[in-house]
Chain A
Amino acid sequence: MNLNKERMSARTVSHLRKGEKGIIKSFTDRAMSLKLLEMGCLPGCEVRLDAVAPFGDPICINVGGSYCLSLRLNEAAVIEIE
């Protein structure tokens, strides 16, 4: 797992379009990553943007096909995807 903040321009969950999928690669914030891990967002896990709240934030992502997680854009921006 990569916890470094070296590639700021990397694609994150916050860049996903509705219905678009991505595979979790790493996290850029350690404190936030712990919470995300506990909520089942693991590196290698597929996520899909399911819904966007009015005003574009928070968003709802489907985690590994198993459940729907709602998070704020700044939280989603911590999750790097490929």
Chain B
Amino acid sequence: MKQGNIKVALVGNPNAGKSTLFNALTGLRQKTGNFPGVTVEKKSGTFKLSGADGQPELSAIIVDLPGTYSIYPKSRDETVVMDILANPKHPDFPDVVVVVADASNLQRNLLLFTEVNDLGLPCVLALNMLDVAASMNLTVNAVQLAMKLNVPVVRINARTGEGINQLKEAVRQVVERSEHSAFAYFYEPKENEIRLIEEVKAMYALDNDYVALQYVCQHDNFSFLEKPARVALDKLIEKHAFDENLFLAEETVSRYEKIKPIVNKSVKSAGQTEQPYWTRKLDSVLLHPFWGYVMFAAVLILVFQAIFSWATYPVDLLDAGIAASIEWTKGVLPEGILNDLITDGIMAGLGGILLFIPPIAILFALVSILEESGYMARVMVIMDKLMRKFGLNGRSVVPLISGVACAVPAIMTTRSISSRYERLLTILVTPLMSCSARLPIYTILIALVVPSTKVLGFLNMQGLVLFGLYLLGLVGALGTAWLLSLFIPRKEPGYFMLEMPSYKLPRWGHVAFTMYDSVRSFVLEAGKVIMSISIILWVLSSYGPGDRMENAEAQVVATMRNAPQEQVNAAISSVKLENSYAGQFGHFIEPAIRPLGYDWKIGIALLASFAAREVFVGTMATIYSISGDFEDVPTVKERLIKEKNPETGQAMFTPAVSFSLLIFYVFAMMCMSTIAVVHRETHGWKWPLIQLAYLMTLAYVSAFVVYQVLS
């Protein structure tokens, strides 16, 4: 019997209830991370197995593997499954595999089971969705199935937790069983395949035929094989004239030939099988050529309403709380550099992160509800044709919608797009969707130059302009996708093929967990960047080369001897900034941004926000020296209105400058975290650099045009 922790892997078709079962088994004892060496999200957790006959309790570590229809991967996520199951040295290599099967569609679900079984891994089959099967007039005889498949079969209901204890018991029994009893392959290799298998087995010291076949078919996906090993396998394939595609098709057909009689024996159907009534009813509306779009538009409006209207209450509360705590800390700590660093640097940076939490939390909760309910799959269907016109895929809708909260998690959701080309295009254009980090910039600049008048009696002009900017982002995303599709050659045809799950009520616990998890990863990932930028920015704007800052300060004090103290202080911080490192940077790039209507102060904010857009407003606040006096703090907006252009004496933020800035931020790739995630997801610097270059060019050119036309 095995000592220590048992390792369990959870395998199953998408929509078979795999993640529900995972949650039912682990409860809150779970964590998300990455599989070693790849950026595929890994969910793992622990559960306890009670020991029988006075045996000690066992502890199991369970890993939720990406959902897949077969062990032959169709998307990047799915390659992980075989990379683990074919490699006994992998840290996640399981002692037992729990295969989750949707009982309402047993034949298709058993294909994956027979493949996993043939790899020689001890399995337990968890029969889920028996209630759905029952509603389709299907009854499944689990005992019969267990006998025919030669595997423990457990009837479960992952949603209600029914059968979970029996499943744990079955896992324990498989672990305690000394050897794999009476193992039989479902697929019997043909004559020519056997010769190839024997050679591969000898070469890599394997004892399982099917694993050897996987070495042949999938070695390019195996991270544990070195280059020479892959080349050697390619030579073997050539030597035996092995036709991989033919083999795959024949293997799958022969598996189904084995599965069919088993399913016929163990599944009884009373009358016509049909999808659940409500699913058919809802689909007739939600997939309707007209009402389908109306419903989707309504859902989108609801999502936007939630982010921009509901989220403002918690955001305002947080904002006030952060300002108050900064003020309090400033008063409590002794004055000096440390105080400034903590309040103006670290706390201001932290505040910037916290403000994004409400919109991100709400968006991810809503997206998760849409996915859970099964509606997202319908959205992909009604949007596919439209998206395809731009070189994208119906599945691109999810990243594009998520991009409204934050491009980083949005780009990670592109992994479900199996066509590499369509996935790449989606990654390249997702940052054009206006993320929540742009919202503070939009709000403040719009408030400056757009009057809050009513249009048509009920629409607010400012709201309309805001909506226009979001629309511009979407049009920009689709337009660039189309342009890129003209330049990037398509190597493989894209494909769609998507299972339409039956509609279900969302599991609220799971929605809450997804929300918590996305917020947590946002705070950790983006937070790190924002924090460090705030601190660096603080240092750069607090120190200057040599004694320039001191000299400038002395000069101000000398010239403004009779002015009130408040004015002198403001002037001092302003000249200090001008002579700091940041100020020098601003002056350095001023010639480049002058055609867009920006001065060196905006230049500093641009540079600072290059790392993360959300820094822009904070930097403007710092630059316009408003952080000093807390007695009568003018808001950033009031200060910006008062800012004068030193050359003309007029207001600095004219409509021309403001709209130029707005357009710049709609298009510009001002986010280190996005660059980092694109680098990770595309495995290299080529695409993030191309993306950075075209987005910056687009931003610069459009801002230039806007400024020149309006001024």
Contact = CB atoms under 8 A, between A and B. Distances in A.
Contacts of A10: none
A8 to B, nearest CB: 18
Interface stretch (B195-203, B248-256, B430-438, B548-556): B248-256
Residue from B105, B280, B497 whose CB has the most chain A CB atoms within 10 Å:
B497
A3 B246 CA distance: 10
B136 to A, nearest CB: 8
B253 A71 contact: no
Q: How large is the interface on B (under 10, 10 to 19, 20 to 34, 35 or more residues)?
A: 35 or more
B497 A69 contact: yes
Contacts of A55: 289, 385-386
Nearest to B493: A74
B654 interface: no
A6 interface: no
Interface string B101-117: 00011011001000000
B394 A3 contact: no
Nearest to B382: A53
Contacts of B384: 53, 57-58, 72
A67 B105 contact: yes
B237 interface: no
A1 B497 contact: no
Contacts of B292: 53-54
A40 B15 CA distance: 14
28 contacts: A1-B253, A30-B245, A30-B249, A33-B249, A35-B74, A35-B497, A36-B497, A37-B249, A38-B70, A40-B107, A40-B111, A42-B253, A42-B256, A53-B287, A53-B381, A54-B289, A54-B293, A62-B275, A64-B107, A67-B275, A68-B283, A69-B498, A69-B500, A71-B497, A72-B388, A72-B496, A72-B497, A75-B497
A-B CB proximity, top 7 nearest: A40-B108, A65-B273, A68-B500, A54-B289, A66-B105, A51-B287, A55-B385
A55 B72 CA distance: 33
A75 B394 CA distance: 14
Given A53-B381, A55-B385, A31 B245 contact: yes
Contacts of A58: 381, 384-385, 394, 496
Contact of B500 (A38, A70, A74): A70
A39 B245 contact: no
Nearest to B257: A42
B486 to A, nearest CB: 21
B246 A30 contact: yes
A75 B496 contact: yes
A42 B273 CA distance: 17
Interface of B: 69-70, 72, 74, 104-105, 107-108, 111, 136, 245-246, 248-249, 252-253, 256, 272-275, 279-280, 283-284, 287, 289-290, 292-293, 377, 380-382, 384-386, 388, 394, 493, 495-500
A30 B493 CA distance: 13
Contact of B245 (A34, A40, A54): A34
Contacts of B74: 35
Given A51-B287, A65-B273, A70-B498, A39 B394 contact: no
Interface in A3-58: 3, 30-40, 42-43, 50-58
A75 B293 CA distance: 24
A10 to B, nearest CB: 19
Contacts of B280: 50
A63 B192 CA distance: 34
Nearest to A51: B287
B196 to A, nearest CB: 20
A81 interface: no
Contacts of A75: 495-497
Given A1-B253, A38-B252, A67 B500 contact: yes
A57 B388 CA distance: 10
A72 B169 CA distance: 44
B495 A35 contact: yes
Contact of B499 (A33, A51, A67): A67
Contacts of B496: 58, 70-72, 75
Contact of B69 (A30, A32, A39, A60): A39
A53 B385 contact: yes
A37 B255 CA distance: 11
B249 A60 contact: no
A44 to B, nearest CB: 9
Contacts of B500: 60, 67-70
Contacts of A71: 496-498
B377 A66 contact: no
Contacts of B377: 70
Contacts of B253: 1, 37, 42-43
Contacts of B246: 30
B104 A67 contact: yes
A37 B381 contact: no
Nearest to B384: A58
Given A66-B273, A70-B377, A70-B498, A54 B385 contact: yes
Given A1-B253, A62-B275, 17 more contacts: A30-B246, A31-B245, A34-B252, A35-B497, A51-B287, A52-B287, A53-B287, A54-B292, A60-B381, A65-B272, A65-B274, A66-B104, A68-B500, A70-B377, A70-B498, A71-B498, A72-B384
